[in-house]
């Protein structure tokens, strides 16, 4: 039977996932990811492991090359940009994600950030805590335009919630036209979306094409009253350019659940900028989503070890093709 490493911090010895894997005859080893690990630590915890159920560890080509027994890696989430999937394929390691697993949680959280930013809830509460009684006017969502960057499962789940608030929805995406079938969404290119949107919400994967996509030039195209929301990947946003844009009034503010370096660095330009609120990467972390993620992640580990991964994102790179999941 196989040895399975579990690094996702909310999966613990004795829980439902642990019991399930052990009942199948496998040995589990828990090493929760807390903060950043250097490559030597990752190599050490992967030693002797046949599979790994992981959070956001940077599984580079060098780290993977030293995990001689490793055959399968499963991300307990959607994004897998922290894993060198091509290197994994060369080593015969399948890499899977769990597409759409936390889409509802992310969609509800996105609406929460939109509301909090539009009504300046965090600033109001902070003012009261500091002894004040702030009473600034704010904005309603109804009648405003929401621009979605990306059209994956989470973005699609945002659409009916935004429409329920009376928002118009625009979207820019690389998803083929044949899969853009939502009559509640108008699909446009990025410049038109930036110019027309009162709120811009990021839901795209981090790739070389999207890294730094929202830069100084992009912020200049946005309304001065616009709010940026990011629940996807921090590196999609040029953080220095964002801080500058908010400080100079080029845009009104931002609500960020993700940043390029997590936890937020002490010298981050995002700190101490009125109008920018940074949260601690919690969009997909509800009790319900975590339960689904644990169960589906464990099932995918076993499927991958049996040579039948359902959601292998590097299947097309492996010597023996397996079913490729929709990465959006």
From CA 215, how far away is CA 211, in angstroms rounded?
A: 10
Token pair recorded at residue 197 = 């949107």
Residues forming beta bridges with residue 229, ordered by sequence position: 201, 255
Q: Determine which one of 22, 139, 168, 262 is catalytic.
A: 262
Q: Determine which one of 211, 281, 295, 310 is catalytic.
A: 281
| Pairing, β 227-230 against β 276-278 | unpaired
From CA 83, how far away is CA 64, in angstroms rounded?
A: 9
For residue 183, count CB atoms less than 10 angstroms from its CB and return exposed for 0-12, middle for 13-18, buried for 19 or more: exposed
- DSSP single-letter state for residue 260: S
Q: Would residue 261 show up in a list of annotated catalytic residues for this protein?
A: no
- Using the Cα atoms of residue 27, residue 312, residue 179 and residue 115 in order, give the sign of their dihedral: positive
Q: Determine which one of 233, 290, 296, 300 is catalytic.
A: 233
In 102-238, which residue ranges form alpha helices assigned H by DSSP? 103-118, 121-129, 153-164, 190-196, 216-221
The 253-256 sheet, strands edge to edge: 185-187, 168-172, 145-149, 199-202, 227-230, 253-256, 276-278
From CA 309, how far away is CA 328, in angstroms rounded?
A: 17
Q: Would residue 262 show up in a list of annotated catalytic residues for this protein?
A: yes
Residues annotated as catalytic are 233, 262, 281
């Amino acid at each position: 039977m196989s040895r399975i490493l579990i690094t996702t911090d909310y999966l613990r010895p004795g829980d439902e996932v642990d019991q399930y894997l052990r009942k199948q005859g496998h040995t589990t080893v828990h090493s929760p990811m807390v903060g950043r690990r250097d490559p030597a630590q990752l190599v050490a915890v992967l030693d002797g492991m046949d599979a790994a159920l992981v959070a956001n560890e940077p599984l580079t080509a060098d780290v993977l090359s030293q995990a001689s027994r490793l055959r399968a890696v499963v991300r307990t989430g959607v994004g897998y940009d922290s894993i060198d999937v091509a290197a994994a394929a060369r080593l015969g390691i399948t890499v899977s994600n769990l597409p759409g697993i936390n889409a509802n949680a992310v969609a509800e959280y996105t609406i929460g950030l939109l509301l909090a930013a539009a009504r300046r809830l965090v600033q109001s509460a902070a003012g009261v805590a500091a002894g004040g009684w702030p009473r600034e006017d704010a904005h309603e969502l109804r009648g405003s335009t929401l621009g979605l960057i990306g059209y994956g499962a989470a973005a699609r789940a945002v659409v009916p919630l935004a429409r329920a608030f009376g928002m118009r929805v625009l979207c820019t995406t690389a998803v083929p036209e044949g899969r853009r079938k939502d009559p509640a969404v108008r699909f446009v290119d990025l410049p038109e979306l930036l110019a027309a949107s009162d709120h811009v919400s990021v839901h795209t994967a981090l790739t070389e094409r999207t890294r730094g996509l929202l830069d100084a030039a992009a912020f200049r195209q946005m309304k001065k009253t616009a709010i940026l929301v990011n629940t996807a990947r921090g590196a999609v946003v040029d953080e220095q350019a964002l801080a500058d844009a908010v400080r100079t009034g080029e845009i009104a503010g931002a609500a960020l659940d993700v940043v390029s370096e997590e936890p937020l660095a002490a010298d981050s330009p995002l700190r101490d900028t009125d109008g920018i609120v940074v949260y601690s990467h919690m969009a997909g972390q509800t009790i319900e989503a975590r339960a689904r993620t644990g169960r589906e992640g464990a099932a995918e580990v076993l499927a991958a070890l049996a040579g039948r991964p359902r959601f292998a994102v590097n299947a097309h790179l492996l010597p023996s093709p397996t079913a490729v999941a929709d990465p959006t």
